[in-house]
Amino acid sequence: MPSTRFESGAALGCGIRQHYFRFMRVLLKLTLDCTPDAAWRALRSPAVLREVVAPWLDFESLEPGGLPTTWPDGQHRLRVLAFRRFPAGQERVDLTSPGGLPDGVRMLRDGGGAETGVFSAFDAWDHRMAVSALPDGRTLYRDQLLARAGALDALAWYPTWAFWQWRGMRLRQLAPTWRFDPPGTADAEATQKAGSAGETEAAS
């Protein structure tokens, strides 16, 4: 699926070429009650994504090994479930971490989009999420979606805007529960627990 492009070094829409104003644009600017490190880890967490979109949507991995603890940059194929139960097509998450940003700003970009199903009506998708520190230690979160559904733009605008407001509400609700572990810590603990459980079952 084609996706929009930004001028080099532009942050969340600054310096967008004039013709990109034809795209639907949805913005969020939130204060999250967590540290920037915790917020950054959450943005890369499939588990957090599933919590944020619930109960309207859910995702299952189409990749070998299922959903990872943390998504690396690159492409990840998902099955979309409406209301957490009903198949609603397939989606490709395509993550990159743009550079050239102001000091202290980290950004995650998803330039993928739906490949089949109702959401494939969007023929362009550029979703950018940025975090930075506030003076009190909390996180400033900025979010921009540029999307295009062609002749269906007028119909798609309000549901997309409303869903983005839901995302914003869920992010604020969940942020106090996020924490940052040094890389590998959470995975190591989960692996150790799984191994211990397997040994217990084998012994019994």
| Residues 201, 199: Cα–Cα separation, whole Å | 5
Of the candidates 188, 171, 202, which has an alpha carbon nearest to the alpha carbon of residue 40? Answer: 171
Average pLDDT over residues 85-114: 96
Q: How confident is the model at residue 12, as a pLDDT?
A: 55
Strand 106-110 to 74-82 pairing: unpaired
| Residues 50, 58: Cα–Cα separation, whole Å | 6
Instruction: Please state whether the predicted TM-score (pTM) of the whole model is above 0.85.
Output: no
Q: How confident is the model at residue 180, as a pLDDT?
A: 76
Indicate if the pLDDT at residue 11 is higher than 80.
no
CB 180 within 8 A of CB 37: yes
Q: What are 27's strand-pairing partners?
A: 144
| Residues 180, 35: Cα–Cα separation, whole Å | 8
Q: How confident is the model at residue 114, as a pLDDT?
A: 94
Indicate if the pLDDT at residue 142 is higher than 80.
yes
Indicate if the pLDDT at residue 7 is higher than 50.
no
CB 131 within 8 A of CB 41: no
Q: What is the pLDDT of residues 146-197, one digit of tens each?
A: 999 988 988 999 999 999 999 999 999 999 999 876 555 544 454 444 444 4
Radius of gyration of the chain (CA): 18
Alpha carbons within 13 A on the beta-carbon side of 158: 2
Q: What is the pLDDT of residues 72-95, one digit of tens each?
A: 999 999 999 999 999 999 999 999
Which of 1-5, 22-26, 84-88, 103-107 is predicted least confidently? Answer: 1-5
DSSP-derived letter for residue 109 is E
Question: How confident is residue 22, by pLDDT bands cut at 50, 70 and 90?
Answer: confident
Average pLDDT over residues 57-80: 95
Question: How confident is residue 48, by pLDDT bands cut at 50, 70 and 90?
Answer: very high
Question: How confident is residue 20, by pLDDT bands cut at 50, 70 and 90?
Answer: very low
Q: How confident is the model at residue 181, as a pLDDT?
A: 65
More confident residue, 11 or 35: 35
Question: How confident is residue 139, by pLDDT bands cut at 50, 70 and 90?
Answer: very high
| Residues 47, 81: Cα–Cα separation, whole Å | 15
Alpha carbons within 13 A on the beta-carbon side of 153: 14
Residue 69: in which H helix or E strand, if any?
none
Tokens of 37: 């490190």
